[in-house]
Amino acid sequence: MIMKKSSISNNPLQLKSLNHISVACRSLERSLDFYQNVLGFFPIRRPGSFNFDGAWLSNYGIGIHLLQCDVDLEKEDVPAAAITRINPKDNHISFQCESMAVAEKKLKEMEVEYVKSRVDEGGVYVDQLFFHDPDGHMVEICNCDNLPVVPLLPAAAAVVVRGGGCRSSESNILSLGRPCSTLNSSTSS
């Protein structure tokens, strides 16, 4: 069996995990309040050598770095339309939650405007709540772990079988994750 190097090591930058997300904010105080009291992050020490205001927060194995924008809030305010329209197809950060019912109840109690959505994948349901932080950045709360993570096998990462085994009749690409009996295949020696 010959495996292409890219299928063995498809991590050219040797990444380990997502470390943090930086969020530009117009009011550090409002953003700190939101990320702590709505999303449950806690402040952590930030290097004192930075020459701009900001704050670092952490929880759930991820960091949020708040970066104070260089704007005069008295003169430049975020247009209301930019923040008020909640679009689930917008760029967003998503958090898995324990209970969608509890999350929705808390958002209502905190008077956070949100949009509900549901994904149906063959009878498996994923519920989603979308809302904005104080600067209009989209946040999603979901129960996405209901959906199994099923890797797709790109042609470039395919395993090529030689000298026997399970092969597709159209090519020598083995379908990982499917038993050989499910392929339209022939076994050769």
Q: Among all residues, which ones are annotated catalytic?
A: 140
CA distances for 179 relative to 84, 138, 168, 169, 176, angstroms: 49, 41, 12, 15, 8
- CB count within 10 Å of CB 19 equals 10
> What would the two tokens of residue 57 be?
């927060």
Which residue(s) pair with 71 in the sheet?
A: none
> What would the two tokens of residue 21 be?
């997300």
Rounded-to-integer distance, Cα 25 and Cα 135, Å: 6
Mode of pairing for the β-strands spanning 42-44 and 54-59: antiparallel
Rounded-to-integer distance, Cα 107 and Cα 110, Å: 5
Rounded-to-integer distance, Cα 162 and Cα 189, Å: 8
